[in-house]
Structure 1
């Protein structure tokens, strides 16, 4: 039976509108979906709340994913403090979700790959009954049974519009899709695991590419993580990274150089990532180097 939610809202003391949802035909309490916000000329919602047990921590995932569970953690902290329910619908991506903030506007990107994995779960149709997977593409099933493709190699515009029809106001469809994903993340360990798996696959695949560009064989995990974070956020170009790495093999200097990229605008984020990496270095967790042959850390 597909889940259905009742939406509600209230204006808080600070004047901001909060949106809530409650699962129908259940004894569950209502939950926060997000708060309305204005970004440039766009109107949408955001959710940065971290309920108990809803922040990513590596330890539950180390048995399955090994060191990679730690490797993604500094970026997870910088993106959302690890919130499995992190959400925003106000920028050009129109819909962004997960502790790594997967954005819906990139064809074949991390959000699309993540969302396909979600829809393939046994309860995928429970949360999104009108969406189906066919030939590894996402389709919308109309009331007459016909299918409309929502994404392809060139565009995700139709998927973006399904999740969030416009940036002019907060709409019912936008809230329902948000409520479904927030509730799913809160109540299903399989959902949260897919957030982790997608992040690890993304960084692991990216490092193969970065190794080709920057010659990272035997590079320390600390340097590799910082490169991944820079490119994930987009605060530095490949040329800028290459210049930072040009230290004749002095990896400590390379790490320090990388920490300066984007510092004018993103010092707080850099501090978060650097602190997490430094902590793992002190604990011996990051005492690893990248292996080109293994495409992993040893």
Structure 2
């Protein structure tokens, strides 16, 4: 076992706000952390994927750390149900973590991915930096003209733009070749924050649903989905969220006599476990009457009862 700690400091009105983040490696592959000498928490397991190495965290049995559509339906209506199958497929835990694939850093119950310029993780991080605890967890980050910047030794530098997030990836996970201390510490900050701040968890839901709503409007125009059943729309939204198919495959599947079956076959050989979860969750939502009663209406940018 070894331990590493990192202290960050930020001065606000002359008063230092700081978090002492420590972590240790146990059992050869499991990273645990604590913040300000508080309770120990699980950060992630060391995993290998293709030629890379990274962290994975899909562990947790605390109900408040897991997405529950029933809790958020009152605020978000059918959209809380619409994102449910994708959330279950992505891990559903607010601290779901993956740093081992080409995205280099994904986090949240929907696994927002940091490699996409102006993508879901970037949108999420910008919103996070407006929360009251942001200065304690990420004192070196700030928004400048709507973009995430890092302040180091008094110098500001943009971490993301409309064309790249490479500096942001370096900030959260420098490489896939090895698991760096930086990668573990940044993951620990986000995990501890979301596990101990309800505002952070609620922000994940708000951002996730807003992203799906905006995306669905564009999919409806791109794939002519005005008046299309909710199940078909949900599968397309999930395909695009994971990025497992491009437009030609989706358009071809929609032209089939059974578009639902055709869409569910996309990626089933490469991602069998994910598709299995997706199929189960869709089946359950159809059985309880949640799915199958609505169509997408382009004019209202929402689902309406048939």
The structure carrying a bigger strand percent of its residues is 2
Q: Are 2:19 and 1:3 aligned?
A: yes
For residue 56 of structure 1, what is the aligned residue in structure 2? 67
For residue 298 of structure 2, what is the aligned residue in structure 1? 292
**1:105-254 aligned within 5 A:** 105-143=115-153, 145-247=154-256, 253-254=258-259
For residue 270 of structure 2, what is the aligned residue in structure 1? 265
Cα RMSD over matched residues? 1.5
Aligned length: 286
Question: Whole-Å Cα distance in 2 between the matches of residues 139 and 55 of structure 1?
Answer: 30
Task: With the length of structure 2 as denominator, give the TM-score of the two structures.
Answer: 0.89
Q: How far did 1:9 drift?
A: 1.6
Question: Whole-Å Cα distance in 1 between the matches of residues 276 and 106 of structure 2?
Answer: 24
Please give the secondary structure, in 2, of the residue aligned with 1:209.
Answer: helix
Task: With the length of structure 1 as denominator, give the TM-score of the two structures.
Answer: 0.91
Structure 1 residues 262 and 41, CA, compared in 2 at 3 Å: closer, same or farther? closer
Question: Whole-Å Cα distance in 2 between the matches of residues 188 and 2 of structure 1?
Answer: 17
Question: Whole-Å Cα distance in 2 between the matches of residues 165 and 293 of structure 1?
Answer: 44
Which sections of structure 1, spanning at least 5 residues, go unmatched?
none
For residue 99 of structure 1, what is the aligned residue in structure 2? 109
Q: How far did 1:225 drift?
A: 0.2
Question: Whole-Å Cα distance in 1 between the matches of residues 41 and 148 of structure 2?
Answer: 28
Q: Which moved more, 1:262-271 or 1:188-197?
A: 262-271
Question: Whole-Å Cα distance in 2 between the matches of residues 258 and 239 of structure 1?
Answer: 12
Question: Whole-Å Cα distance in 1 between the matches of residues 220 and 252 of structure 2?
Answer: 15
Q: Which moved more, 1:102-111 or 1:192-201?
A: 192-201
Which sections of structure 2, spanning at least 5 residues, go unmatched?
1-16
1:20 to 32, 48, 55: 32
Please give the secondary structure, in 1, of the residue aligned with 2:265.
Answer: coil
For residue 14 of structure 2, what is the aligned residue in structure 1? none
Structure 1 residues 266 and 8, CA, compared in 2 at 3 Å: closer, same or farther? closer
Q: Are 2:261 and 1:256 aligned?
A: yes
Structure 1 residues 79 and 119, CA, compared in 2 at 3 Å: closer, same or farther? same
